[in-house]
Structure 1
Amino acid sequence: MKKSVLVVEDHSSQRKMMVDALQRAGYIIYQAADVQQAISLLNQHKPDVVVADMHLPSGDGTEVIREARKVAGAPIAIVAVSIDLAILNQNTISVNQADAYLSKPFHPRELLKLVEELVGVSL
């Protein structure tokens, strides 16, 4: 069964890069540009992985992470993304309950490697 990823990123060029790379690798993709869209998609689709930017215009990625942790069923793996190294260095993994993090800018291969590790399969 194909694995699914929710990409939460307000910058359309960054979102497109992530979505294109993940789709080419065979993942089902859901995408959101803000916190409200992300929460709606989380509850509708229950993705296997959430890739969430920590800086969003309608709130921040920590809200998305908190909501993802509340979704019933199989646990959702979380990748926190930020250009702000201070955010990622402030124990993002433990404080925000993310499973992994990426610092912008990053190469799509880095994202694919993390997602593959988190879902435990290579598509």
Structure 2
Amino acid sequence: MTVILVIDDDPGTCQLLTDALQHQGYSVQTAGDGLAGLRTFEAVHPDFVVLDADMPLLDGHAVLRTVRDRDGDPVPVLMLTAATPLNGAARAWPDGVDYCLTKPFTPDEVTKLVNSLVGAWWAENEQ
């Protein structure tokens, strides 16, 4: 089963994404800040990360850079940002994000992106 790690400091967003992703058949783990997110990433070894850009203790951009610096296959990352699409993406692309989604978003938008990115990642890495 594909494991998705949701890292977001808003409990409501974590619950919304957990419900939507579990409904799609994914196993979901959550973390409420960047430091907890990195600890969970190391413990769980998720197949996909949904990451909030603006969080306390360690922001999403620092988490993304740390995840990208890890050895092994890169894990697809979807970053959620309240910044304008251009500004949010401009900060995240150099760090290796796979996709940025601007808040507010719908659960359907997230699940469609996750399904698409997970499918593309698996197809690329199974060759």
Given the two structures, how large is their TM-score scaled by the length of structure 1? 0.88
- The alignment yields a C-alpha RMSD, in angstroms, of 1.5
Contact 1:21 1:112 in 2 (8 A): yes
**Does the 8 A contact of 2:68 with 2:95 survive in 1?**
no
Say if 2:76 and 2:97, in contact at 8 Å, map to a contact too.
yes
Q: TM-score, normalised by structure 2?
A: 0.86
Q: Which has the higher helix share?
A: 2
Partner of 1:55: helix, strand, or coil? coil
CA contact (8 A) 2:89 2:100 kept: no
Please say if residues 35 and 61 of structure 1, whose CA atoms lie closer than 8 Å, have aligned partners that are also in contact: yes
1:9 aligns with 2:8: yes
1:21-60 equivalent positions in 2, closer than 5 A? 21-60=20-59
One-letter identity of the residue aligned with 2:32: A
2:4–2:48: 8 Å Cα contact kept in structure 1? yes
For each residue in 1:37-85, what CA deviation from the matched residue of structure 2 results, as whole angstroms up to 9, or x when unmatched?
Answer: 1001111111111111000011210121122223333320000111111
**For 1:1-123, what aligned pairs fall within 5 Å after superposition?**
2-85=1-84, 87-90=87-90, 92=92, 94-120=93-119
Which one is further off, 80-89 or 48-57?
80-89
Q: Matched residues, percent identical?
A: 31
* Equivalent residue letter for 1:88: G
Could you list the runs of 5+ residues in structure 2 that have no partner in the other structure?
121-127
The DSSP-based 3-state class of the residue aligned with 2:100 is: strand
Structure having the higher strand fraction is 1
